[in-house]
Structure 1
């Protein structure tokens, strides 16, 4: 039954469309789709490139990931552009021969709702979650969301099919199928359009952030609170050192470290130079970089080590952080939930030891003339850690960086083991006040442990 006259007329009369308005709508729809695709493409790569400035590793998208994201952007852009086209074609005068044209109004309202709801969802959800995930995280989440991406595009497009069925007459399914195929082909064609030379950008980022064969370590004392500048040793050019987006000669690198220090407003003693080098790098090159760090008035150095967790390699930086004075090495300040007064460590460069434990890196590790297996190194070092003793590392200039890291990590691990064994106060948490119960007692006990079991090392390198 159809309501007429005083009630809503549900019958659909034929719609006469203007050729000029059809052409205008198609041109504006295509332009809108192209602009939206370009905006989403550039926004994705902007987020991706922004992560480099925070000291992270390059986020290089694979061809499959890039092509999939590009098609998703292009398909969404064409759905939105198609909606704009239909709104323009059916907009304008909605009266025909003294009678309201309800079909036109329904079509326009459908497209307006699709545009607004789509834009709202895209701004609220996609920009916050999808773009950040696509551009800033290199987790391989694409296999899990590939089907939802396709379904999202399909559902949005089916909304336009519902509207098309209102004005297409006989053979409408044929025209709807042709329309679907056309948008499908156009979306793939548009996804091949690149607004930036991403291959060149990726090559530049990989040049200044090359893949490093980091040394292994069984210890790490770095935290996300460390403030550092990355300094990368070039495998094929020992006279060049890479920074985040440029390179410099090794003998002039101190200027870059000094510039990094002077450009930071927070306390200088917390700034570090983070050294990235291959495990088979010779120690004479490591020492050369360390001299440049000291010349640049930075005393903290972080030896970057291997992160075995591939999913967190861009966000967590394991390493060994120490304080250096010329050929002397001391314990660096690290983040702690309890503020400890460790400024006295700066004075230990004038420390006069009563006993020296000599460890030589040469075809293994030699401690006081005895060959020590690698797996026993930590246990042997722990025996000699006390307030009156200093350790002396010695190695030839061609010693491997991996061996030095093994020795240093074993020493730091032994230090932690000895302190944990001699701890008298355990830190306790108060659930009601959301604070620690015994902060003062714990801090006092930690200060005692740092004093009784210090980390003191002097180094000697043979260049012959």
Structure 2
């Protein structure tokens, strides 16, 4: 039995609410939801743009993930806007002689607690993830985080109905069903609003720092912090299938200008003794013909650059945008055969370094889509085992390429050979040093390299 008194009335009827206040509450709720959604959208895009300067490649969000991001933020915005609307709807001026309803007070307290506490918690968590995603690691939106995000929206919505459901009484579930459907439709509609023209931002970012479709690889070297100078070239294809070379300044250069580019980088060193330690890295689209890449390597060789680092695809989703994997290879004199016939196209050869590649026999490897080793077709998954079985201390591996050889085919085959040799070395390794600086580690590695040397030559099968 309930008692209605002058200063206490536990009864709360929705029919007593004025239509004007209901309409005004809906308007305030929708306006608040749009403001919250717009703020979240702009903040996300701001962090994404800020990451362009810190990451290897611009963080381009695909349409499926962007749609889910927008729907998630729209859902949160609608629920928070709904909470603001409910708070305004059940708020009223109080004077000393007016009756007070505990239910009304609990509803208001719940909505205020919901808004401020959730916004505070979610803001801290969002800024933490945003800061890490700008500089250190990515957080892929896989299936599990999507389920967590969906659960968060559901729990937040139900939390806003704890006391409000008692007021609705018999029609509670019907009202919740209609209200949920309405909020979902509003969330879906708001999620289609692009506050910022992100496609224009993406186009500018990709023009300034194009993403290269790097090849997959069986092997990559752990890169330890070094203070040697490096220079990186990007080789990719545009929409017209034209091959483009870009330097570190994102300037498009011609293949016959590589010699000048190398000299420009060398002349920029303030310490002359570091010139010989210049490391040249290439990020190459995996679908480009290998013959063209070998022409570029010939330009490196004629410029006095005798080693190259191939950047390869990073399989780790969380570090892919911040860490480049790759492995280094010596550029041998065999690459000269790939120079164009027009000698005026190339700079004059510099005095070559001594190349000690003594061997007694060769292992012929035909590198195309179908890889053949000594006239036997070898599936790619068996390449490492095949190279181990065919290893000889006085044997060189002759990679025979043709006009049909793609850069991906070459990297897969070459990395399988490198992986096989390193596994043979690791099998007999006894000294381990995290920093690779002790004399014992250095001496053992030298013996292992002498026992299991990497010897490669290359031939062009026209």
What's the TM-score once normalised by structure 1's chain length?
A: 0.66
Would the alpha carbon gap of residues 318 and 422 (structure 1) be closer, same or farther in structure 2, given more than 3 Å must change? Answer: same
- C-alpha separation between the residues in 2 aligned to 1:428 and 1:209? 35
SS in 2 for 1:426: coil
Would the alpha carbon gap of residues 255 and 154 (structure 1) be closer, same or farther in structure 2, given more than 3 Å must change? Answer: farther
Q: Does 1:442 align with 2:441?
A: yes
Would the alpha carbon gap of residues 73 and 218 (structure 1) be closer, same or farther in structure 2, given more than 3 Å must change? Answer: closer
SS in 2 for 1:382: coil
Would the alpha carbon gap of residues 186 and 224 (structure 1) be closer, same or farther in structure 2, given more than 3 Å must change? Answer: farther
Residues 301-340 of structure 1 mapped to structure 2, 5 A cutoff: 301-305=308-312, 318-322=325-329, 324=331
Match of 1:426 in 2: 431
Match of 1:66 in 2: 66
Would the alpha carbon gap of residues 309 and 75 (structure 1) be closer, same or farther in structure 2, given more than 3 Å must change? Answer: closer
- C-alpha separation between the residues in 2 aligned to 1:25 and 1:258? 69
Residues 159-174 of structure 1 mapped to structure 2, 5 A cutoff: 159-165=159-165
Residues 220-259 of structure 1 mapped to structure 2, 5 A cutoff: 220-223=220-223, 229=232, 231-234=234-237, 237-242=241-246, 246=250, 248-251=252-255, 252=257
- How much does 1:193 deviate? 1.0
- C-alpha separation between the residues in 2 aligned to 1:133 and 1:418? 38
Would the alpha carbon gap of residues 271 and 38 (structure 1) be closer, same or farther in structure 2, given more than 3 Å must change? Answer: farther
**Contact residue 83 and residue 111 of structure 2 kept, 8 A:** yes
- How much does 1:281 deviate? 0.9
Match of 1:384 in 2: 394
SS in 2 for 1:321: strand
- C-alpha separation between the residues in 2 aligned to 1:4 and 1:403? 84
Would the alpha carbon gap of residues 272 and 9 (structure 1) be closer, same or farther in structure 2, given more than 3 Å must change? Answer: farther
Gapped runs of 5+ residues in structure 2? 337-350
Match of 1:351 in 2: 354
Q: Comparing 112-121 with 19-28, which one deviates more in the overlay? A: 19-28
Would the alpha carbon gap of residues 70 and 407 (structure 1) be closer, same or farther in structure 2, given more than 3 Å must change? Answer: closer
Match of 1:416 in 2: 422
Match of 1:273 in 2: 281
**Contact residue 281 and residue 311 of structure 2 kept, 8 A:** no
- How much does 1:248 deviate? 1.1
SS in 2 for 1:209: coil
What do the CA deviations read for 1:429-462 (whole angstroms, capped 9, x no partner)? 9xxxxx99x9442233334555777657687879
Q: Does 1:141 align with 2:142?
A: yes
- How much does 1:27 deviate? 3.9
Q: Please give the root-mean-square deviation of Cα atoms over the aligned residues, in Å.
A: 5.4
- How much does 1:100 deviate? 4.7
What do the CA deviations read for 1:221-277 (whole angstroms, capped 9, x no partner)? 254758774613327545512579956133356777788889999988475423323
- How much does 1:77 deviate? 0.3
**Contact residue 218 and residue 416 of structure 2 kept, 8 A:** yes
Match of 2:114 in 1: 114
Match of 1:209 in 2: 211
**Contact residue 94 and residue 101 of structure 1 kept, 8 A:** no
Gapped runs of 5+ residues in structure 1? 330-347, 386-390, 430-434
**Contact residue 304 and residue 318 of structure 1 kept, 8 A:** yes
SS in 1 for 2:161: helix
- C-alpha separation between the residues in 2 aligned to 1:204 and 1:359? 49
Match of 1:288 in 2: 296
- C-alpha separation between the residues in 1 aligned to 2:333 and 2:130? 49
Would the alpha carbon gap of residues 218 and 86 (structure 1) be closer, same or farther in structure 2, given more than 3 Å must change? Answer: closer
Would the alpha carbon gap of residues 265 and 118 (structure 1) be closer, same or farther in structure 2, given more than 3 Å must change? Answer: farther
What do the CA deviations read for 1:377-420 (whole angstroms, capped 9, x no partner)? 666563227xxxxx797867847346654674466456536655
What's the TM-score once normalised by structure 2's chain length?
A: 0.66
Match of 2:97 in 1: 97
What do the CA deviations read for 1:85-143 (whole angstroms, capped 9, x no partner)? 2333444632263555645433322211111221133123455459978997474622x
Number of residue equivalences:
423
Would the alpha carbon gap of residues 40 and 303 (structure 1) be closer, same or farther in structure 2, given more than 3 Å must change? Answer: same
